[in-house]
């Protein structure tokens, strides 16, 4: 059975150049911040951003601020289950049936486990939490 929890994800703008993401992860290493999940991407010419779900949001915010970044905290959901056919669909189907539109999601499976991070509109956070059994 899937387990879900509401999480806080930090989002920062990045310079789309080599080493930008490595610089942030180096700052997290120096600050002893454990990163559970991260992803970064270029959004267009001259624009990139990254998202971080960490074990200690306050320490992560501090490390980002020391780098001159302005982290934005966003509510999201972390869902885990056994890695089997249909696990991801079951999660997405619950949200669809509740009328929740997903703004972004990233999912992966490793070591027999499945996990996903799901972003919804700020106005849908409570509805999503209820649909996920939180």
Domain of 85, CATH number, reads 3.30.70.260
Q: Per-residue pLDDT tens for 28-53?
A: 999 999 999 999 999 888 899 999 99
Residue 18 sits in a domain of what CATH number? 3.30.2130.10
Among 31, 47, 73, where does a domain finish?
Answer: 73
Residue 25's domain comprises: 9-73
Q: How far is CA 56 from CA 21, 52, 53, 59, in A?
A: 19, 11, 9, 6
Residue 18 lies in a domain: yes
Residue 68 lies in a domain: yes
Query: pTM above 0.85?
Result: yes
The predicted pLDDT at position 66 comes to: 97
The predicted pLDDT at position 37 comes to: 93
Residue 53 lies in a domain: yes
Give the chain's domain count: 2
Cα(126)–Cα(129) distance, integer angstroms: 5
Q: Which of 74, 25, 53 lies closest to 116, judged by CA? A: 53
């Amino acid at each position: 059975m899937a387990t879900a929890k509401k999480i806080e994800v930090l989002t920062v703008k990045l310079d789309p150049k080599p080493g930008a993401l490595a610089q942030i992860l180096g700052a997290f290493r120096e600050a002893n911040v454990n990163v559970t999940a991260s992803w970064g991407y270029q959004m267009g010419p001259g624009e990139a951003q990254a998202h971080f779900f960490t074990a200690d949001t306050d320490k992560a915010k501090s490390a980002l601020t020391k780098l001159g970044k302005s982290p934005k905290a966003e509510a999201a959901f972390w869902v885990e289950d056994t890695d089997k056919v249909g696990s991801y669909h079951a999660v997405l189907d619950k949200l669809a049936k509740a009328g929740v539109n997903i703004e972004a999601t990233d999912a992966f499976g490793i070591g027999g486990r499945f996990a996903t991070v799901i972003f919804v509109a700020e106005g849908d956070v409570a509805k999503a939490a209820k649909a996920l059994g939180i």
